[in-house]
């Protein structure tokens, strides 16, 4: 075990006994939702993981330690501090460790800690990708590079609707990352079930998804697998409404000079505002759906 990783007693025991464990990120707690919905959602995610046979390992950097598995008090701390907690990707981990500081892990950083801890499956909401206008800004999420080099399977509701989904798929193809649709041939787009872009292939059961992940591992490939799980139909938002809201929010961001890592939280906040909170409800439900599937896949991988 890496010297910087600290496992909770429950996670440590589960890994030692060969029981299913799934990773959960912490930026969704500190940066993805307002308090107290963020804490409620995080605790419900842990409950859903256990109900589906897997031990949850919510990951964060606390006091310079890469923590896999948090207490309820630690989750409350992240939720109440909110955006006062540093958003941590790969580049931030050495700094946070050296300064013994706190950080909420992004998809990329959560994958790193999960791999160091020996956790093969990770559930999140949506992954980052190639931003609209990236041909000028070069704004490409570190999540994509991490998927190309870190052996953790990520279960998500596709890439966030605010991204350029076509370029995101092209980037993943170039990096050799399998994008597998769960019971779908089309890439889901976070709030909506359709994007107009095809995935590489599909898996129609947790057993099939687990088999694909296992095959990639036994081949010795370096990266991960992206399992895209559409938001439940009853919670999905109409694609045309989301697209129009995002276009308006992007124009507002550009006019306000919002750039870099501030773009995503700005856009998500505007989408929530312009959909009268419906996007937040959809976000919560799609995360629960992904945790459920990730736990079922992890269970199949350990069976």
- DSSP-assigned letter for residue 238: P
- DSSP-assigned letter for residue 269: H
Active site residue 19: no
Residue 233 CB burial class (10 angstroms; 0-12, 13-18, ≥19): exposed
Catalytic residue, candidates 12, 87, 160, 274: 160
Q: What share of the chain is helix, strand, coil (3-state, %, to 5)?
A: 50, 15, 30
Contacts of 93 (CB under 8 A, 6+ apart): 61, 66, 103, 109, 112
Separation of alpha carbons 206 and 158, rounded Å: 17
Active site residue 25: yes
- Preceding amide of 36 cis, omega within 30: yes
Say how far residue 8 (Cα) sits from the centre of its chain.
21
Please state, in angstroms and as integers, the Cα–Cα distance from residue 134 to each residue in 51, 140, 168, following that order: 41, 7, 10
Active site residues: 25, 160
């Amino acid at each position: 075990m890496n010297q910087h990783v600290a496992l909770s007693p429950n996670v440590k025991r589960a890994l030692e006994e060969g029981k299913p464990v799934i990773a959960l990120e912490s930026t969704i707690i500190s940066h993805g939702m307002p308090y107290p919905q963020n804490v409620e959602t995080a605790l419900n995610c842990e409950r859903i993981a256990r109900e589906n046979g897997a031990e949850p390992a919510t990951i964060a950097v606390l006091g310079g330690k890469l923590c896999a598995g948090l207490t309820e008090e630690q989750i409350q701390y992240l939720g109440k501090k909110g955006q006062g907690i540093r958003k941590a990707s790969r580049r931030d981990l050495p700094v946070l460790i050296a300064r013994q500081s706190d950080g909420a892990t992004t998809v990329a950083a959560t994958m790193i800690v999960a791999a160091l801890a020996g956790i093969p499956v990770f559930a999140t909401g949506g992954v980052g990708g190639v931003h609209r206008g990236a041909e000028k800004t070069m704004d490409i999420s570190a999540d994509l590079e991490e998927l190309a080099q870190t052996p953790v399977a990520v279960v998500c509701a596709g890439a966030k609707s605010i991204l350029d989904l076509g370029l995101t798929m092209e980037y993943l193809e170039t990096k050799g990352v399998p994008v597998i649709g769960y019971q779908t041939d089309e890439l889901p787009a976070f709030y909506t079930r359709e994007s107009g872009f095809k995935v590489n292939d599909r898996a129609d059961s947790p057993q099939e998804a687990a088999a694909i992940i296992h095959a990639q591992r036994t081949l010795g490939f370096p990266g991960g697998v992206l399992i895209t799980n559409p938001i439940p139909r009853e919670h999905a938002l109409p694609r045309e409404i989301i697209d129009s809201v995002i276009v308006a929010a992007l124009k507002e961001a550009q006019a306000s000079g919002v750039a870099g890592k501030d773009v995503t939280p700005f856009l998500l906040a505007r989408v929530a505002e312009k959909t009268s909170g419906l996007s937040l409800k959809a976000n919560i439900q799609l995360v629960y759906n992904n945790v459920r599937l990730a736990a079922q896949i992890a269970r199949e991988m350990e069976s």
